Amino acid sequence: MSQLKKNDHPGLPVSVVTGGAGFLGSHLVDYLLEQGHRVIAIDNLVTGDVDNISHHAGDERFRFIKQDVTEFLFLEGPVDYVWHFASPASPVDYAELPIQTLKVGSLGTHKTLGLAKHKGARFLLASTSEVYGDPLVHPQKEDYWGNVNPIGPRGCYDEAKRFAEAMTVAYSREHGVETRIVRIFNTYGPRMRLHDGRVVPAFMSQALKSLPLTVYGEGGQTRSFCFCNDLIDGIFRLMMSSVEGPVNIGNTHEMKIKDFAEEIIRISGSKSSIHYCPLPADDPQQRQPDITRARRELGWEPKTQLADGLRITIGYFKKKLSGIEPEGLKKCN
């Protein structure tokens, strides 16, 4: 990757993106470069993939640093914006990496906030709808405190993000750092990992291999799916706004997981059936954002229709799965 020097392209805003080789982080890198930013992407590639940003090789406005953000961050030159996206973000990842998940949410947030403080940069935390846990309020508003099991199987991720929000607010109050917090709801699109455990890549890879789609419980739990391009647009608007409190960014179109599986089968043209497995512990029964604040304060709402976004994403997975032999149905645990 190209080396971003102190005097390269003076006058352009400089953005640091942690987790910049991940699914959402890499889309943010693309968007920032399109908006005329110089970008420094930082990622330890535990769950990220350098292929997601390799198309920027040779761009003098872009630099990639392979580093764990829980370690001290030293960067020469000015920084205007810090976007903290580093974290495992799927049930499979944080089940396998619980300590790393907790560390990136705590130590990683501390280090990136320290960088923002040192550089006088504005800071944005990529938080999550998981801070609401298995919500008792529906849809979820930003003033809802959540229903989280801190010692459950999802606790390492939920509590890491809740701590990260608290740390972000503390730096704003104590040190005067300009901070923004986005609570990201279920998002999908190209560059999701095939086997990261989230419902979209799981269903799509199964459908494209003509395998049964694994639905947990009776499939009555609900989710709301936002296309990645819409999400990144909303996050950019938030960073550039004066809104300091948490803001939900997501799609309000709520649907049952069973119905979502049937939609993927339909759009992909698959002949797959649906296979039901026992519901995992602490799996949220309802997940839908209230985006009133985003509409009012940012002038934002999602624009991509679900069917359109799914077709784009299925096209991506078809390419990824090209030449891969179908695997047997994963045994339910």
Annotated catalytic residue: which of 31, 157, 171, 188?
A: 157
CB 228 within 8 A of CB 236: no
Q: What is the DSSP annotation of 211-259?
A: PPEEEETTS--EEE-EEHHHHHHHHHHHHTSS--SEEEES---EEEHHH
- Specify the residue for token string 């940069």: 121
d(CA 159, CA 139): 21
> Cβ atoms within 10 A of the Cβ of 169, count?
17
State the DSSP H helix or E strand holding residue 82, giving kind and residue range, or none if neither.
strand 81-84
- Quick one: which of 49, 43, 80, 87 has its CA closest to 65? 43
d(CA 163, CA 180): 15
State the DSSP H helix or E strand holding residue 85, giving kind and residue range, or none if neither.
none
Q: Catalytic residue at 157?
A: yes
Q: What does DSSP assign to residue 133?
A: B
Catalytic site positions: 157
